[in-house]
């Protein structure tokens, strides 16, 4: 019986390891990993100013504050600001409910997302379905992967990954502000993924 449990545990750990390994792998074409769909905004003063970032010193995590909306809808909202002039807003990436990742702005350029840290960070907006603001598991997995890849690209650590809340005190991303333990786990998961990516690269 004990032997059977040990064998089962071994099998589980092996398959978990393979899954994690597969999750950390990707191919890069034109500087962009294959899990990212590039759908850049038009350069305009309301969402893509075209300003070059001097350096990237951090990654800022946001939530859309628009429950149930898709990554494409959020990207298209940012694009529409060039005509509607409603506000100035954007993000480099939007991660959707099914884990899809849309890039709106090149990481070498500034987005309008993180107030005083717009000038030296990359911003990720996350879609969510639940009222508490927690991310769907597919969304979470993609955000971790994307964030780890950005850390690898810019030689950052999980400590450099911050919430919008850490910049302005805004309740964003809601669930990870209201549950500091989950935010700790988020950073741990980024760190683990970063380690795997470093091993694979
Ligand atoms: Zn935010």
Q: Which CATH number characterizes residue 124's domain? A: 3.40.80.10
167 C-alpha to center of ligand 1: Å? Answer: 9
pLDDT of residue 20: 44
Per the structure, the count of domains in the chain is: 1
pLDDT of residue 70: 98
Residue 196 domain-assigned? yes
pLDDT of residue 201: 81
Sole residue written with tokens 């030689």: 155
Q: Which helix (H) or strand (E) element contains residue 79?
A: helix 71-84
- Print the domain residue range for 157: 34-200
pLDDT of residue 24: 87
**What residues form DSSP beta bridges with 32?**
29
61 C-alpha to center of ligand 1: Å? Answer: 7
14 C-alpha to center of ligand 1: Å? Answer: 38
173 C-alpha to center of ligand 1: Å? Answer: 6
Residue 18 domain-assigned? no
Sole residue written with tokens 């060039």: 82
Residue 19 domain-assigned? no
The per-residue pLDDT for range 76-102, each reduced to its tens digit, is 999 999 999 999 999 999 999 999 999
113 C-alpha to center of ligand 1: Å? Answer: 6
The per-residue pLDDT for range 184-194, each reduced to its tens digit, is 999 999 999 99
Q: Which helix (H) or strand (E) element contains residue 188?
A: helix 180-200
Indicate yes or no: pTM above 0.75. Answer: yes
Residue 109 domain-assigned? yes
114 C-alpha to center of ligand 1: Å? Answer: 7
Q: Is the pLDDT of residue 120 over 50?
A: yes
Residue 3 domain-assigned? no
The two structure tokens encoding residue 129: 């379905």
Per the CB < 8 A criterion, the answer to whether 91 and 62 are in contact is yes
Q: How confident is the model at residue 30 (pLDDT cuts 50, 70, 90)?
A: confident
Residue 40 domain-assigned? yes
């Amino acid at each position: 019986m004990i032997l059977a449990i040990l064998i089962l545990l071994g099998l589980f750990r092996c398959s978990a390891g393979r899954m994690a390994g597969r999750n950390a792998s990707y191919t890069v074409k034109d500087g962009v990993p294959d899990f990212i769909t590039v759908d850049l905004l038009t350069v305009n003063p309301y969402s893509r100013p075209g300003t070059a970032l001097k350096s990237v010193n951090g990654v800022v995590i946001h939530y859309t504050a628009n429950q149930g909306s898709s990554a494409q809808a959020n990207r298209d909202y940012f694009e529409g600001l060039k005509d509607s002039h409603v506000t100035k807003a954007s993000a480099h990436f939007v991660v959707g409910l099914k884990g899809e990742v849309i890039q709106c702005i090149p990481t070498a350029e500034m987005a309008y997302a993180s107030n005083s840290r717009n000038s030296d960070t990359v911003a990720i907006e996350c879609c969510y379905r639940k009222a508490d603001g927690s991310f769907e598991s597919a969304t979470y997995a993609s955000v971790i992967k994307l964030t780890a890849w950005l850390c690898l690209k810019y030689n950052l650590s999980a400590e450099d990954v911050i919430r919008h809340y850490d910049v302005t005190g805004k309740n964003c991303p809601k669930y990870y502000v209201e549950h500091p333990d989950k935010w700790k786990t988020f950073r741990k998961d980024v760190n683990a993924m970063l380690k795997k990516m470093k091993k694979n690269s």
